[in-house]
Structure 1
Amino acid sequence: MKATLNFIRFICIGCIGLLGFSIQAQLVNIESKRMHTDSIRFVLSSDLLFNYTDNNGAYILQIGSNLTTQLKSKNLKSIYFFIGNVNLIRSKDEDFQNSYFLHGRYNYKFTKVVRFEAFVQNQNNQKLTISERNLLGVGLRLKLFSKDGSLAYLGNSYIYEVESVASSDQKFYNHRNSSYLSLNQHFKKFNLDLTGTLYFQPLYDNIGNHRILSQFKAQMPLTKRISFSALYNYAVINFNSELEDNRSSNVSFGFTLNL
């Protein structure tokens, strides 16, 4: 029975990887989720997975849901952006994964180059050292160049964050800087989009306490509504304290429905 349960667990975790639902660290790459839709004012992208298996009382419950939506103002200068994600893999004895992520962002276009951004975020992952993270942030986003299907962005933001450690009931109130470089390339011949992003997020008063995220994403539309994507993430969280540092990497493949 234990071997059967472990096999089901492996299959469930594999399915989540294939559908691109997993969030393995507190660092989440918003760049990979942005919607470059030109004059299209409303876009919604959603995934949903539910699975329940019971073998003589030994069960696995799996829920995965991902929602991304964007709304632009009539003059296309203001963008309202929201991401929601829930992941749960539960058995009778333990949770293999239990996390959620919510992110709301406002973007205003001052010029062709300069954009203002403000955002709020709440995320929870009971399997990590930092079990809950809440933050508010404001900053600027600069378009470095846009030519022949190539896009490059540089961003810098101030973040106020509250982090919780469930195992010890500790809370940390931090002032953090967030910088990122994002490169996007569209290959018209293959209808293929490639995105590479690098984030660096140190504390203002302790640069040794920092987060690094690198991501590579490839996406190709299969039909007008369905796209195939592949992601590689590598994240490092250094606390520069008695807390255990976190390192994670993952590869995922998935299909996305675009409405």
Structure 2
Amino acid sequence: MIGTYKPKHLKSLLIIVIYLFCNALNAQLVNIESKRMQSDSVRFALKSDLLFDYTDNNGDYLFQLGSNLTTQFKSKDLQKIFFFIGNYKLIRSNEKDFQNNWFFHLRYNQKLTSLFRVEAFIQNQNNTKLTITSRNLIGAGIRLKLISSEMTRVYVGNAYMYEIEKIAETGQHFYNHRNSTYLSSTHSFKKTSLNFTETIYFQPLYKNFGNHRVLLQVKAELPLTEVISLSALYNFSYNSFPAVNDIDRSSNLSLGITFNI
């Protein structure tokens, strides 16, 4: 017997799909390399987007709000870089949040030689759907340009981070000294203007390497105009938290449009 179609059933299914997708998409470890703006002579750059959506079917509503901002400013001599990333995402239905998170990152980069750079950064992020619901950190380190050609750039970096993590469910706070090491490469293709960025991060505690985070990311961006680009992003993350006997794993592939100013 064929059942009667009910919009609210479809609505519930849609909410579940969105919840699962977004939960996989938002790991606590964020790849700053994919956000950097690799432009040697441009002093100011900005990328931004905003999403607002409200749907109501027979009293069952779905509200979505999302915003992203990435901006970079260089000094007149192009040796100093101030870099900011901010985003906020909310998905709510019938007074229940399926996603509610934000992320802010401010970084200072000082070029000392063609090879050597120093960096300092602060970061705040919150995600109510992860084991570690809140994470705040401050850090500093070095960044080396291993390869620099017209089509390819390769960087390696290492930094010290002091972080404060919180588990909302138990009220626990963790005060950690963590290391962050990454290897990143960017490749450009002249004929198509296609850009690839690949990055791998490893972030263990100094006192316990069993408490660590790993992120592998591949990003492709294809400009359509000077302002609009098609983008594809693949993430794989692994987060180990022995203190709470929990492990978070996630992988996802996403496609989208990027606006550049």
Task: Measure the CA separation in 2 of the matches of 1:118 and 1:128.
Answer: 26
Residue 6 (str. 1) matches residue 8 (str. 2): no
Q: Work out whether residues 64 and 91 of structure 2, in 8 Å CA contact, stay in contact via their aligned partners in 1.
A: yes
Query: Equivalent residue for 1:45?
Result: 47
Query: Equivalent residue for 1:247?
Result: 249
Which of 196, 207, 210 is matched with 2:209 structurally? Answer: 207
Superposed CA RMSD: 1.8
Structure 2 unaligned spans of 5+: 1-6
Deviations 1:148-183 (A, max 9, x none): 411100000000000000000000000000000001
Deviation at 1:254, TM superposition (A): 0.9
Residue 72 (str. 1) matches residue 78 (str. 2): no
Q: Work out whether residues 138 and 157 of structure 1, in 8 Å CA contact, stay in contact via their aligned partners in 2.
A: yes
Deviations 1:201-227 (A, max 9, x none): 000000000000000010111001011
Task: Measure the CA separation in 2 of the matches of 1:148 and 1:47.
Answer: 29
Deviation at 1:7, TM superposition (A): 4.2
Task: Measure the CA separation in 2 of the matches of 1:211 and 1:15.
Answer: 21
Q: Work out whether residues 144 and 157 of structure 2, in 8 Å CA contact, stay in contact via their aligned partners in 1.
A: yes
Q: Work out whether residues 104 and 121 of structure 1, in 8 Å CA contact, stay in contact via their aligned partners in 2.
A: yes
Task: Measure the CA separation in 2 of the matches of 1:80 and 1:248.
Answer: 31
Structure 1 unaligned spans of 5+: none
Q: Work out whether residues 8 and 57 of structure 2, in 8 Å CA contact, stay in contact via their aligned partners in 1.
A: no
Query: Equivalent residue for 1:119?
Result: 121
Q: TM-score, normalised by structure 2?
A: 0.93
Q: Work out whether residues 107 and 117 of structure 1, in 8 Å CA contact, stay in contact via their aligned partners in 2.
A: yes
Deviation at 1:72, TM superposition (A): 0.3
Task: Measure the CA separation in 2 of the matches of 1:34 and 1:4.
Answer: 39
Q: Work out whether residues 177 and 201 of structure 1, in 8 Å CA contact, stay in contact via their aligned partners in 2.
A: yes
Query: Equivalent residue for 1:238?
Result: 240
Tell me the amino acid that sits aligned with residue 143 of structure 1: K
Larger Cα-atom Rg: 2
The alpha-carbon distance between structure 1 residues 180 and 171, as it changes in their structure 2 partners (threshold 3 A), is same
Partner of 1:168, secondary structure, is coil
Deviation at 1:244, TM superposition (A): 1.4
Deviation at 1:38, TM superposition (A): 1.4
Partner of 2:12, secondary structure, is helix
Partner of 2:9, secondary structure, is helix
Task: Measure the CA separation in 1 of the matches of 2:151 and 2:15.
Answer: 42
Q: Work out whether residues 88 and 95 of structure 1, in 8 Å CA contact, stay in contact via their aligned partners in 2.
A: yes
Tell me the amino acid that sits aligned with residue 209 of structure 2: I
Q: TM-score, normalised by structure 1?
A: 0.94
1:1-259 matches, cutoff 5 A? 1-9=7-15, 23-259=25-261
Question: How many residues in Structure 1 have an aligned counterpart in Structure 2?
Answer: 255
The alpha-carbon distance between structure 1 residues 227 and 14, as it changes in their structure 2 partners (threshold 3 A), is farther
Task: Measure the CA separation in 2 of the matches of 1:186 and 1:159.
Answer: 31
